[in-house]
Structure 1
Amino acid sequence: MGKRLLILTAAMGAGHDAVAGELARRVARRGVEVCVLDVLELVPLRLGHGLRRMYEAMLRGAPWLYEGVYQAFFVSPRPPPASPLTALIARGLERRLPGPPPDAVVSTFHVAAQAAGLMRLRGRLDAPSLVLVTDFAAHRMWLHPGNDRYLCPDEASARSVAERTGRPAERVAPVVRPGFLRAHDGGRLRAEAGARPGERVVLVSAGAWGVGRVTETARGLAASGRYLPVVLCGRNGRLRARIREGGIGYALGWRDDMPGLMAGAYALVDNAAGQTCREAFACGLPVVSYRPIPGHGRDGAEAMARAGLSAFARSPAGLVETLDLLGSEQVRKAWAQRVGTLFDAVRAEHVIRAALG
């Protein structure tokens, strides 16, 4: 009988699902049977859907409230205690575990890591449990001593996770679709956005939900006279309409051709420090963090900047100045060398195949 892998994720935005999907594709190519589960679907009474809507609503309309939640529950050097949500997901997972049981479990979302770790610690999960950490700043909700191994984005986060959990942690290469590593544009983005000669196209990312103060960001870039903001509005139709009606850049909805868009851009201005940044790294597109969403977005942006993987602009003038600096081939080459080390690490699927036995 072939090996079986269970991947746990959550549709909070699109990043966690993107990692889970690409990881499933890679592992399945080796003849492993892969099952991907959204842990929020395991919560009874559709409470998982409510949690997702509440999180999105806070990011859209009350970011200060999410900051309070983050400080109260996510920020601590110690692993968190078991929560009712974790227990509910663990019970739901026990009922939904595909049979025969998996040979390994991988979590790509922090609450999934909590549930799998709890089951492993209490002897209700026999398979090794691995956690693929998708944040450069691994907050305590990622951490549970019941998990067997942590796969982290860089050495700094791996050291921190190992110290805080007492479990093995190692650096793995970013899990991105192969198209980002060989993307070409051929001038299509400039033509689509209507860029003038000498005008540099800058992608402004607002995530799948189109959140954050990206309208102000686009306005500042457009006012510079040398940068054309192309705002990635995700599935937020209202944001796309505001950008278009305001005449402050070019607005795009949800797109499946992100490799080509990134290949045609000068830089990415990002506010979440998530999967979009990894995709930009793979494309060789410099990243500037600006006005990040609170909590994990801000902490991730700080961590990437400390590692030299991105810049963190603190003001409208600072954003333009940072983008100006990226016009230097020497600066871009030095940045590319630092980012290249991320992809020199072992691939996550190799570690997972070893865990499958």
Structure 2
Amino acid sequence: MGEIALNEVAYEPKKERALVLTLSFGYGHVRAAQAIAQQLRTILSPERVLLLDALDGCRFFFHLFYVWPYWAMIRHAPKLWARLFTARRHHMHKKTAPALLFEWGCAHVFRTIESFAPDVIIAVEVAACEIAALARRRGQTEARILAVITDYETEPVWVQDEVSHYAVADSHTAEQLCAWGVRKDAISVTGIPSITETGSEKKALAHHRLDDGRPVVLLMGGGMGPTRMDQVAAHLCSCGEPLQLIAIAGRDERARRALARLQATPPVTLHRIGWTDDVPSFMKAADVLISKPGGLTLTEAANCALPLVLYDPIPGPEEKNAMRLVEGGAALLARDPKQAAEYALALLRDDARRQEMKVQLARFAASDAAQRIARLALHGEDPRMSADGRSEDGFYRNSQTYQTVEPIAQRA
């Protein structure tokens, strides 16, 4: 009995507090953070799990000097952003902004860390990782830090001495971290965490009142833009084929206004959707997805075995995301909105090609990633993998996915 009591004292997850920290630079980071928090709440009591978006409550000048310049570059000067991202990697930058900007601009986050007193901080965005590391460096917390990377590409800023462990999308991302000095035993290849619809295709069609006799094309623009999804939609609305187009603009008001001006020519029908938390259900109902290649969107599509046409990747991680899936035969990459529409129509006509893509998408699926990351955060290691469960290169690995694949020629 005494030995059992000692074991219980050594690890009692019910008594731990977990802080899931992110910054809402787009839809993916927030949704990944929500998926992890949801899983943690099933293990711990809900009041012991806090999900915090650092941009919710940050000071005006933090938006002025950190947030808005990013969006301005992405929307109006993507080549400048590409050069900046490349320079950050080339020069091995260890910060995206001076520490004082985080300390002053996100003071509420540091206060929350002190008052909530988490035992573990799960950082689901690069600046969230910087903030968590800074709080530990300043002595405001002794929490373990688990960094969760939600793309198939990373950068040296993620490598902070204060981080205990990394959860990454695939072995390529793991190898990048190792090249920058992270130990292999501090990395788990979990896949990208998401909330995945588990119902049937027919249930999803009925839920959204769609006609199961016509194919469904789902069009997305990344949740917060920038996007040319209205131009893709315009091509599809006039294609003359019997399809149902669902366009999800998210919080991108510019995209919503542009979509509102479109009229579909029968037999095409257009369904315009703003912000929704039901994306996996829409994916379950769709035959083809046209989307910007955000890491979480790609994982959700892979979990639903939904063939992909990618367009308008943001320079940096999104370009690498697209490359990984295209080389793996799981997606097509269009050079412009017109080609994106043409690729989607070609896939609708080619059942064999869509089936082939579904097979390849299984390599990128990670439906249990959020659950594994939650347990990794609390146990300090992946409970599904023991030392003899490592692959030859030494990484803890999702047993279903992330094998090395030979490039498959892109074809429409």
Q: TM-score range by the shorter chain?
A: 0.7 to 0.9
Is the counterpart of residue 251 in structure 1 residue 267 in structure 2?
A: no
Q: 2:312 aligns with which of 291, 302, 305?
A: 291
Is the counterpart of residue 8 in structure 1 residue 24 in structure 2?
A: no
1:233-312 equivalences in 2 (<5 Å): 233-247=249-263, 249-312=270-333
Q: CA deviation at 1:131?
A: 0.5
Equivalent position SS for 2:179: helix
For the structure 1 residues 121 and 336, does the alpha-carbon distance in structure 2 shift closer, same or farther, using more than 3 Å as the test? farther
Equivalent position SS for 1:225: coil
Q: Is contact 1:144-1:165 (8 Å) kept?
A: no
Equivalent position SS for 1:343: coil
Match of 1:112 in 2: 128
1:52-71 equivalences in 2 (<5 Å): 52-71=67-86
Runs of 4+ displaced beyond 6 Å: none
Q: Is contact 1:222-1:228 (8 Å) kept?
A: no
Equivalent position SS for 1:126: coil
Number of equivalent positions: 350
Return the alpha-carbon distance in structure 2 between the equivalents of residues 56 and 109 of structure 1.
16
Match of 2:151 in 1: 135
Q: Is contact 1:172-1:348 (8 Å) kept?
A: yes
Q: Is contact 1:273-1:297 (8 Å) kept?
A: yes
Return the alpha-carbon distance in structure 1 between the equivalents of residues 253 and 120 of structure 2.
40
Is the counterpart of residue 185 in structure 1 residue 196 in structure 2?
A: no
Match of 2:9 in 1: none
Match of 1:348 in 2: 373
Task: State the TM-score, normalized to the length of structure 1.
Answer: 0.83
Structure 2 gap ranges (5+): 1-13, 265-269, 384-412
For the structure 1 residues 151 and 243, does the alpha-carbon distance in structure 2 shift closer, same or farther, using more than 3 Å as the test? same
Q: Which amino acid aligns with 2:33?
A: A
Larger Rg: 2
Equivalent position SS for 1:293: coil
Structure 1 gap ranges (5+): none
RMSD: 3.3
Equivalent position SS for 1:230: strand
Match of 1:169 in 2: 187
Question: Which whole-Å deviations, capped at 9, do the CAs of 1:38-67 have from their partners, x for residues lacking one?
Answer: 234575x43333333443344344434433
Q: Is contact 2:310-2:340 (8 Å) kept?
A: no
Return the alpha-carbon distance in structure 2 between the equivalents of residues 225 and 266 of structure 1.
18
Question: Which whole-Å deviations, capped at 9, do the CAs of 1:215-257 have from their partners, x for residues lacking one?
Answer: 2222333444335543211123442232232325543222233
Return the alpha-carbon distance in structure 2 between the equivalents of residues 294 and 82 of structure 1.
19
Equivalent position SS for 1:112: helix
Return the alpha-carbon distance in structure 1 between the equivalents of residues 237 and 377 of structure 2.
45
